[in-house]
Amino acid sequence: MAVSPQIFPSRKRRPSAGSFISPKLSDIKLVESLLVLSQEIQSLKPFQFLLKRNSLSIIRKIKLLGILFEELKGSQSASLFSPSSLLCLEEMYIVLQRIKTLIEDCFNGTGSSKMWLLMQIETVSNLFHELTMDLSTLLDILPLKELNLSQDVEEVVVLIKKQCLQNDVASLDPSDYNLRLEVLTMLDRIKREIVPDHSRLLEIFQSLGLRDSSSCREEIENLEEEIQNQTDQKSKFQVVALIGIVRYAKCVLFGASQKSDSKLRRKKSTAETNTPADFRCPISLDMMRDPVVVATGQTYDRQSISVWIESGHNTCPKTGQTLAHTKLIPNTALKNLIAMWCRDQKIPFEVTSSNEKVKGVVTNKTALEATKMTALFLINKLSASQSTEVANDAVYELRVLAKTDSDSRACIAEAGAIPLLVRYLGSDTGSQLPNLQVNAVTTILNLSILEANKMRITETDGALNGVIEVLRSGATWEAKGNAAATIFSLSGVDAYRKRLGRKTRVVKGLLDLVREGPTSMKRDALVAILNLAGDRETVGKLVEGGVVEMISQVVDVLPEEAVTILEAVVRRGGVVAIAAAYSTIKKLGVLLREGSDTTRESAAATLVTLCRKGGSETAAEMASMPGIERLIWELMETGTTRARRKAATLLRFLRRWAAGLEAYGSTTATTTTVTSSRILLPS
């Protein structure tokens, strides 16, 4: 389907409760507030496309009503209102607030979707009528004689009452009604797999003011926002179906608008957003979509830990402890926090499993068929294209579509997009049209998120080699970074991880990207390296390629990612890796002092492995670091559970090393640091 209803967490809908509570103001202040409020409503523009007659009518009435408030403001009787007059004016204030809120919500408010307004056209029209009748009632009971109004103003009030009574029956503009009926009919035809007539589709969209790719893109975002306001599944389904038809129309009627969409894409890119460390999976270092807790109490993303367990591991990746059981318990509290953060950052939050049901939500047939039609249209356009510019537009739209959800990724791959995308991964495309190469590799990246597509990609002739070629010699850093992210995604499957890790070009390409690329691309390469480091044979290739030296260079820029990789490499890399990591010991000591909780934990674990496998020389090097004992004790007091345990192990190594020196009669200065009475472990 076009977008899953669960992607965006719910939020509260305007108007606020204050719009329905009588203001506690003095007589003068109340009149002034009414005047200001009427002026604010007058400044609002009538709707251009839907409910034009309703909005224009009520704004005109409020404009005339402003004359009454002007008169009252200048009148000496404003401070002598009778209780009945005061109550009437207070109620009028509430009605004006509701009118202002209704207009803003329909036109100027957040999530002001034209399509959804069209679906609710009858309800909204009735709201305009109800507010007009409320205003008429208040004007009827307003004691005009007590207010000492001029004759001209009294006539204006009578005119407003007369105009309100002319609308005593709710009426819906026939053009609005017919337009709504046409859209509903078209949605039903799409559900029955009937392709919409493009000329009629264009007329409908022009009637709604959706006349180019940018306005359609904005409409899609507004509909995605609208999902947050709906509480019943039927309404959510309808919004999701509308997203599907708007996305289809955007592609077939207007094509790509890459320049305008790029700003929206960057706005929602997690690569450019500083994701909190607690929201990242310790395995992938990426933001968790479905956090779960394992038997040791550690939290991982469901997809990452599932791959780890299915690969035959029975230990916790972070602590190394044997898992008492392999049951995965959802971490609902953390998931809600991540969802709230994503909402604030305007990042779609989607559970990666395409089969998961949330509160009984299942695939929306209409939206799914619209997505299939969109994918097929773009792929046919791409297949028939003789122009690289036309191809670039089609690939870009596939890129955007593949980013939305799992159903879109499945539809695109099943329609045969991957072999067509492979055409544009080569260096010739990169030199002639770099943007096309970026769009092609990014589309493959987005498709690879779906588990079933990983096999399709790896088994398509030239796809894997094409991605590796982009990683090695892509025309832009963005292309190289997205190729690295694709390697990371594919390496989530154990068999593909081993296959990729044994390719020297992959290892060298990732290491070069970390050494030379910008920070965001370094992170893409690092997480791919971390995945590949799960295989012992690949670790050997990484060490030969200089991964430890590379980590030493990047640890100051991306300490958390770098030290996590170093821990994995040292744990699986044997003597060669230990020797290569010797020069990083002092940097690990700095991270014990200055790093985040996760970084300090990984640094302590790495030092433990180095001391265990590196012997007395490693312990001596660590003992020579100024203040190391104090740092270890601080970690034991303030670190995570695993960090405290690793810190205690470090103290034991240092104690044994110091005891060994004393046995040989050594009195060197370095021993004084670790032989004080505090070296004894707490009971």
Integer CA distances (angstroms), 527 to 38, 114, 285, 511, 637, in order: 57, 41, 6, 11, 30
> pLDDT class for 52, splitting at 50, 70, 90?
confident
Weakest-pLDDT range from 1-10, 231-240, 326-335, 591-600? 1-10
Q: How many CA atoms lie within 13 A of 495 on its CB side?
A: 4
Q: What is the pLDDT of residue 494?
A: 81
For residue 404, give every residue at least 6 positions away whose Cβ sits within 8 Å of its Cβ, in sequence order, or none: 2, 3, 247, 348
| CATH assignment, 277-330 | 3.30.40.10
pTM for the predicted model, two decimal places: 0.75
Q: Is the pLDDT of residue 677 over 70?
A: no
Query: For position 569, what pLDDT does the model report?
Result: 87
Q: Mind listing the pLDDT tens digit for each residue in 594-628?
A: 888 888 888 888 888 888 887 778 788 888 888 88
**CA dist., res. 374 & res. 369, Å (int):** 9
Q: Which of 39-53, 100-114, 409-423, 566-580 has the highest mean pLDDT?
A: 409-423
| pLDDT at residue number 352 | 43
User: What is the model's pLDDT at position 257?
Assistant: 60
Contact 435, 258 (CB under 8 A): yes
In terms of Cβ atoms closer than 10 Å to its own Cβ (0-12, 13-18, 19+), residue 437 is buried
Which one, of 534, 531, 529, lies nearest residue 548 by Cα?
529
* Rounded CA separation 329/96 (Å): 51
Q: Which residues of 637-652 are buried (b: 16+ CB within 10 A; e: fewer)?
A: eebbebbbbbbbbbbe
Q: Which of 133, 124, 129 is nearest to 176 (CA)?
A: 124
- State the pLDDT at residue 482: 94
The per-residue pLDDT for 197 is 93
**For residue range 384-419, what is the model confidence (pLDDT) as tens digits?**
988 888 899 999 999 999 988 888 999 999 999 999
What integer pLDDT is reported at residue 459 of this predicted model?
93
Q: Mean of the pLDDT values across residues 537-541?
A: 88
The overall longest dimension of the chain from CA atoms, in Å, is 113
Buried b (16+ CB within 10 A) or exposed e, 484-522: bbbbbbbbbbbebbbbbbebeebbebbbbbbeebeeebb
- Residue 78, pLDDT > 80, answer no
Mean pLDDT is highest, among 36-45, 52-61, 185-194, 363-372, for 185-194
Quick check: 4 pLDDT over 70?
Answer: no
The domain locations on the chain are 27-172, 176-254, 277-330
Phi, psi for residue 211 in degrees, rounded to 5: -120, 5
More confident residue, 61 or 322: 61
Segment 12-28 shows an average pLDDT of 57
Candidate ranges 159-168, 214-223, 250-259, 508-517; pick with highest mean pLDDT: 508-517
pLDDT in tens, 460-509: 999 999 999 999 999 999 999 999 999 988 988 888 888 999 899 999 99
Identify the CA nearest to 284 among candidates 509, 533, 118.
533
Rounded to 5°, the CA angle 583-579-680 comes to 75
Q: Considering only CA atoms, which of 445, 347, 460, 350 is closest in space to residue 402? A: 445
Confidence of residue 170 (pLDDT cuts 50, 70, 90): low
* Three-state secondary structure call for residue 535: coil
Cα-based torsion angle of the residue sequence 13, 16, 19, 21 in order, rounded to the nearest 10 degrees: 130
